[in-house]
Structure 1
Amino acid sequence: MIVSISLTALFGVGTVLLIRGRRVSLPTAATAWLSGFTLASTGIAGPVNTFLTAMVSLVTHH
């Protein structure tokens, strides 16, 4: 669990730096950041998975 939190923080900081350096757009960074939580399987992974599933469902049904 400690390793997951550390990796999550590392990727979160990296995402912020990419946004501030204007290397990626905000939606792209948000997608990378949310998928990072999913991969890290932290406590927020469940709600993030639910959110991502809802977004995919919304896109595929419209």
Structure 2
Amino acid sequence: MGFALDVLGLLKDCGVTLTEIEPTDAMIAAGMAVSGIGEERTRATFRAMVAAGGEPVKRLQ
């Protein structure tokens, strides 16, 4: 666990953020609150931003 936290700290120091592949309800609510656009457009915007960031990393088991 300590190693994983160290890796996350290094990513943060490099300006890298990890996020869900699909937005959570809280993310959608926050996006709608600041943008004034509806739920579906907010979801589409989130998905477009994630897609522009490259291929998502597969979850490790």
Scaled by the length of structure 2, what TM-score is found? 0.40
TM-score normalized by structure 1? 0.40
Larger Rg belongs to: 2
